C-alpha cells in the first residue's frame, strides 16, 4: 500500500510537469531606467516651473497614487517573507478551582515554540516574488503617468489662462480703436454726411466687444480656480501668479532622434512591460503550483500541563516533521488556473505591442501638427499685416468721404477676427509642443518609496 502511494505521487509529479505549458518569453528587452526628464523646464517659463514644483509637492491625487505604490511595495514584502521560515510562540495559563465538593486549587501552564518552512523546490515562491516586484514597478510607472498627465494639464490650463488674458487685452485695444471710429462716425452724422445707422452699427460692434470681454473675464476666473485645484488649494484662494501668465515663444522642437529608443523610457511603455513581466511570473507560479510541496516543521515546548510555572523546563518535548504533499486529482482546477494565467500573459504581450505603436503614433502626430501649424501662423501674420493696412486706408478714405462706412466696418471685423485667430493658434501651437514633450517624457520622480516606508516604521 505504501509503495502504491509513492508511485502515484511520483507519477502525478511528472505528469503535472509534462502537461503544463512554459511561460512565453518577454517581447522586448527591459525598458530604460528612470531618468530625470523635467520636460516642462524646456519651455523656459519660470512661472510654470514654480507651479509644477508646487503641484509635485501638494497635489492630492498624486499623494493618493503614491499610497497605492506603497501598498504594492508592502505586497512585495509579503512575498519576501514567504521565502523565510515562520516562527510562533504560545504560552498559556489556567486556574482550576473546585466550586463544590472537596476544595482543590491548581494552576496549569503550557508553553511551546514552533517553526515551519516550505522548501521552494521548484521556485514557485521566487516566481510569486518576481510577479509582485514587477507589479510594484508597474504601479510606480503608473504614478509617473499620472504625474506627467497632471503637469501637462497644468501647463495647458496655465497657457489657456495666458491666452484668455492676452485675448482680453487685445479686445481692449480693439475697443479703443473702435471708439475712435465711433467718434468719426458721430462727427460725420452730425455733419449730415452719413445716417444714424452707421453710428448704431459701430456702437453695436463696441457692445459686442464688451460682451466678449465679460465672457473672457469669467473664463479667466475659472482657469484660476482650476489651477488652484491642481495645486491642492481651495478655489477661493487668491492666485497672484496669474498676472505673470503669458503666451511664450517656442524654441526649436526637441531632438527626437530615433523615436523607438526614446519610447522605451516612457512610463506607459515601462508600465506595460512590467505588467507583462508580472503576468509571465504569475504563469510560472501557476505551473509550479501543480508540483508537490516539501514542508518542514519543528516545535519545542512543555506540551504537558504542569502545576507550577517553574516546572515548565522539566517537561520539554521536541517534535520534528517533514512532509511532501501534492494534488492527485482536483477536477482540472489547477490546470484551468494555468490556462487562465497563460491567456493573461498573451493579452499583456499584445497590450505591450499596442502601447508601443500608440506611443510612436503620438510622437509623429505631435511633430507633424506643430510643423504644419508653425507654417500656418507665418502665413496668418502676413494676412494680419495686410488687414491692418487695409483698415487704416479705409478709415482714412471714410474720413475723407471716399468710401462708405460699411467698408470700414468690414475691415475692422476682418482685422479683429484675424488677430484673435492668431492668438488662438499661438495657444494651439504651445499645446502641440506640450503634447510632444509629453509623448517623449520619461520618468522624473525620485524613487523615495523606501524613505516613506522607513518613515512609517519610525
Q: Cα 156 vs. chain centroid, distance in angstroms?
A: 17
Is the pLDDT at 6 greater than 50, yes or no?
no
For the chain, give the number of residues: 458
Rounded to 5°, the CA angle 438-41-376 comes to 60
Is the pLDDT at 15 greater than 70, yes or no?
no
Is the pLDDT at 406 greater than 50, yes or no?
yes
Task: Tell me what pLDDT residue 109 has.
Answer: 67
pLDDT tens digit string along 440-449? 876 666 556 5
Cell for 213?
Answer: 470681454
Task: Tell me what pLDDT residue 402 has.
Answer: 87
- Listed ranges 20-24, 366-370, 410-414; the one with the highest mean pLDDT: 410-414
Cell for 137?
Answer: 514597478
**Across residues 126-137, what is the average pLDDT?**
90
Task: Tell me what pLDDT residue 384 has.
Answer: 95
Q: Give residues with Cβ within 8 angstroms of 164, minimum separation 6.
A: 216, 219, 220, 223
Measured in degrees and rounded to the nearest 5, phi and psi for residue 86 equal -105, 140
Is the pLDDT at 85 greater than 70, yes or no?
yes
Banded pLDDT at 372 (limits 50, 70, 90): very high
Task: Tell me what pLDDT residue 105 has.
Answer: 60
Q: Which residues pair with 146 in a beta bridge?
A: none
Banded pLDDT at 113 (limits 50, 70, 90): confident
Task: Tell me what pLDDT residue 359 has.
Answer: 87
Banded pLDDT at 251 (limits 50, 70, 90): confident
Banded pLDDT at 413 (limits 50, 70, 90): very high
Compute the chain's Rg from CA coordinates: 37
Q: Give residues with Cβ within 8 angstroms of 197, minimum separation 6.
A: none
**Across residues 277-293, what is the average pLDDT?**
89
Task: Tell me what pLDDT residue 98 has.
Answer: 61
Is the pLDDT at 256 greater than 70, yes or no?
no
Q: Cα 126 vs. chain centroid, distance in angstroms?
A: 29
CA distance 266 to 272: 10
Cell for 328?
Answer: 492527485
Task: Tell me what pLDDT residue 9 has.
Answer: 41
**Across residues 390-415, what is the average pLDDT?**
91
Average pLDDT of the residues of the chain? 83
Is the pLDDT at 346 greater than 70, yes or no?
yes
Measured in degrees and rounded to the nearest 5, phi and psi for residue 445 equal -85, 140
End-to-end alpha carbon distance in the chain: 57
pLDDT tens digit string along 381-402? 999 999 999 999 999 998 888 8
Between 106 and 137, residue with greater pLDDT = 137
Is the pLDDT at 145 greater than 70, yes or no?
yes
pLDDT tens digit string along 176-234? 999 999 999 998 888 888 889 999 999 999 999 999 999 999 999 999 999 999 999 99
pLDDT tens digit string along 289-327? 888 888 888 887 665 555 555 565 666 777 788 888 888
CA distance 193 to 59: 63
Banded pLDDT at 351 (limits 50, 70, 90): very high
Banded pLDDT at 152 (limits 50, 70, 90): very high
168 neighbors 209 (Cβ within 8 angstroms)? no
Domains and CATH numbers, the chain: 19-83+121-291+330-457 (1.20.1600.10), 86-119+292-325 (2.20.200.10)
**Across residues 69-90, what is the average pLDDT?**
87
Amino acid at each position: 500500500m505504501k509503495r502504491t502511494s509513492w508511485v502515484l505521487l511520483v507519477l502525478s509529479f511528472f505528469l503535472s510537469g509534462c502537461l503544463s505549458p512554459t511561460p512565453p518569453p518577454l517581447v522586448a528587452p527591459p525598458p530604460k531606467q528612470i531618468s530625470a526628464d523635467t520636460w516642462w523646464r524646456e519651455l523656459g517659463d519660470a512661472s510654470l516651473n514654480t507651479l509644477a514644483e508646487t503641484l509635485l509637492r501638494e497635489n492630492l491625487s498624486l499623494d493618493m497614487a503614491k499610497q497605492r505604490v506603497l501598498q504594492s511595495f508592502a505586497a512585495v514584502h509579503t512575498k519576501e517573507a514567504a521565502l523565510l521560515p515562520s516562527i510562533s510562540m504560545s504560552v498559556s495559563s489556567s486556574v482550576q478551582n473546585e466550586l463544590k465538593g472537596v476544595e482543590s486549587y491548581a494552576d496549569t501552564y503550557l508553553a511551546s515554540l514552533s517553526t515551519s518552512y516550505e522548501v521552494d523546490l521548484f521556485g514557485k515562491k521566487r516566481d510569486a516574488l518576481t510577479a509582485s516586484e514587477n507589479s510594484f514597478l508597474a504601479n510606480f510607472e503608473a504614478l509617473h503617468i499620472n504625474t506627467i498627465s497632471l503637469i501637462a494639464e497644468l501647463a495647458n490650463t496655465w497657457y489657456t489662462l495666458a491666452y484668455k488674458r492676452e485675448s482680453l487685452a487685445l479686445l481692449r485695444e480693439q475697443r479703443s480703436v473702435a471708439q475712435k471710429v465711433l467718434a468719426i462716425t458721430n462727427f460725420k452724422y452730425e455733419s449730415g454726411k452719413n445716417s444714424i445707422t452707421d453710428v448704431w452699427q459701430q456702437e453695436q460692434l463696441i457692445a459686442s466687444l464688451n460682451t466678449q470681454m465679460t465672457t473672457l473675464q469669467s473664463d479667466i476666473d475659472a482657469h484660476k480656480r482650476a489651477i488652484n485645484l491642481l495645486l491642492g488649494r481651495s478655489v477661493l484662494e487668491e492666485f497672484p501668479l496669474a498676472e505673470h501668465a503669458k503666451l511664450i515663444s517656442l524654441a526649436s522642437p526637441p531632438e527626437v532622434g530615433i523615436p523607438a529608443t526614446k519610447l522605451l523610457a516612457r512610463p506607459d511603455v515601462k508600465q506595460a512591460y512590467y505588467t507583462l513581466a508580472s503576468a509571465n511570473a504569475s504563469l510560472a507560479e501557476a505551473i509550479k503550483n501543480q508540483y508537490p510541496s516539501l514542508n518542514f516543521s519543528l516545535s519545542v515546548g512543555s506540551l504537558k500541563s504542569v502545576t507550577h510555572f517553574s516546572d515548565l523546563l522539566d517537561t520539554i518535548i521536541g517534535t520534528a516533521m517533514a512532509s511532501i504533499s501534492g494534488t492527485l486529482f482536483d477536477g482540472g482546477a489547477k490546470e484551468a488556473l494555468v490556462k487562465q494565467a497563460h491567456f493573461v500573459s498573451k493579452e499583456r504581450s499584445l497590450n505591450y505591442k499596442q502601447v508601443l505603436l500608440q506611443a510612436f503614433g503620438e510622437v509623429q502626430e505631435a511633430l507633424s501638427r506643430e510643423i504644419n501649424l508653425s507654417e500656418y501662423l507665418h502665413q496668418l501674420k502676413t494676412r494680419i499685416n495686410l488687414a491692418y493696412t487695409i483698415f487704416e486706408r479705409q478709415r482714412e478714405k471714410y474720413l475723407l468721404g471716399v468710401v462708405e462706412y460699411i467698408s470700414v466696418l468690414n475691415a475692422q471685423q476682418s482685422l479683429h477676427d484675424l488677430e484673435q485667430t492668431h492668438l488662438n493658434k499661438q495657444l494651439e501651437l504651445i499645446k502641440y509642443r506640450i503634447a510632444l514633450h509629453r509623448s517623449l517624457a520619461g520618468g522624473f520622480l525620485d524613487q523615495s518609496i523606501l524613505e516613506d516606508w522607513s518613515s512609517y516604521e519610525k
